[in-house]
């Protein structure tokens, strides 16, 4: 079964320095038909103006993954971590019993475009943890590269949820395929470009939910960037 989620049907909020599209219900956007998909709870497609950002705020009992598409994003948290993310960087926080952090665009002249992703943990109340890793363009070019999973396999960042996240920068005309084990589901989010996925034409911000299918097959109609989630 394939369900399409079109970009323009998402929730939208704009407050001057922040332009955000919400795939699922978030903050002031509420849609009972789009509360998440399996353990995937949030995909926020954010653009933050130069020199602006999110002040220190708390999280708990959520696996939070950040993926930068363009620009730079500076992170600081109550565990003492501080890093600047750029394209190719993937960051996670297992918020566990509680963590405070801030996110700021350190470039006053250029906006940052990022995806912030929340995945519900398998267990609540764990110890907060943090990690960040760079995945070079060559490692994501015309292939699905695992960047996050629940065991840290093949160089992926380890989170506390039975979920895997794959990233791909796909050249026009190239194809990638992902096989789903029995009982698994997938969410495909097109961050940039235009693709055909399991017969569906998708472009910037579009997505599909995939259930009861053997695989996800994606062909780039133009140069594209995408994330694929494998979920129980």
Give the pTM: 0.95
Question: Helix (H, G, I), strand (E, B), or coil: what is residue 162?
Answer: coil
Sheet harboring 207-210: ordered strands across?
Answer: 2-5, 207-210, 185-192, 224-231, 163-170, 145-149, 157-158
pLDDT for res 153: 86
In order of 28, 29, 223, 232, the CA distances from 229 in angstroms are 25, 23, 20, 10
Domain-by-domain residue ranges, the chain?
Answer: 2-231
DSSP label at residue 180: P
Helix (H) or strand (E) holding 140: helix 137-140
* Superfamily classification of domain 2-231: Jelly Rolls (2.60.120.10)
Q: For residue 27, is it left (φ>0), alpha (ψ between -120 and 50) or beta?
A: left
pLDDT at position 81 is: 81
Average confidence score pLDDT of the chain? 95
In angstroms, the CA 227 to CA 202 distance is 13
Which SS3 state, helix, strand or coil, does residue 138 take? helix
pLDDT surpassing 90 at residue 191: yes
Write out pLDDT tens, residues 3-61: 999 999 999 999 999 999 999 999 999 999 999 999 999 999 999 999 998 888 888 99
Q: What is the per-residue pLDDT across 60-91, written as a single tens digit (0 to 9) for each?
A: 999 999 999 999 999 888 888 888 999 999 99
* pLDDT tens-digit series, residues 128-137: 999 999 999 9
**pLDDT value at residue 82:** 84
- Distance from first CA to last CA of the chain, Å, rounded? 15
Q: Which tens digits make up the pLDDT trace of 79-127?
A: 888 889 999 999 999 989 998 988 989 999 999 999 999 999 999 999 9
Beta-bridged to residue 225, according to DSSP, are 169, 192
Tokens 């602006």 locate to: 52
């Amino acid at each position: 079964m394939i369900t399409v989620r079109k970009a323009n049907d998402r929730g939208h909020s704009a407050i001057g320095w922040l332009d955000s599209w919400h795939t699922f219900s978030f903050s002031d956007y509420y849609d009972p038909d789009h509360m998440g998909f399996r353990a995937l709870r949030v995909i926020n497609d954010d653009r933050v103006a130069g020199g602006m950002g999110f002040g220190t705020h708390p999280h708990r009992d959520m696996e939070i993954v950040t993926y930068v598409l363009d620009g730079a994003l500076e992170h600081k948290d109550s565990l003492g971590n501080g890093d600047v993310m750029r394209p190719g960087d993937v960051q996670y926080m297992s918020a566990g019993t509680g963590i405070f952090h801030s996110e700021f665009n350190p470039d006053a002249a250029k906006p940052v475009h990022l995806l912030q992703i929340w995945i519900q943990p398998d267990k609540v109340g764990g110890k907060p943890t943090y990690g960040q890793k760079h995945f070079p363009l060559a490692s994501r070019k015309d292939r699905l590269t695992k960047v996050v999973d629940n065991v840290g396999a093949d160089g992926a960042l380890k989170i506390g949820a039975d979920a895997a996240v794959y990233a791909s920068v796909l050249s026009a005309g190239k194809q990638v395929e992902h096989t789903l084990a029995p009982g698994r589901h997938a969410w495909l989010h097109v961050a940039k470009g235009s693709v055909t996925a399991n017969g569906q034409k998708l472009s910037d911000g579009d997505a599909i939910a995939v259930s009861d299918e053997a695989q996800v097959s994606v062909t780039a109609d133009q140069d594209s960037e995408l994330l694929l989630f494998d979920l129980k």
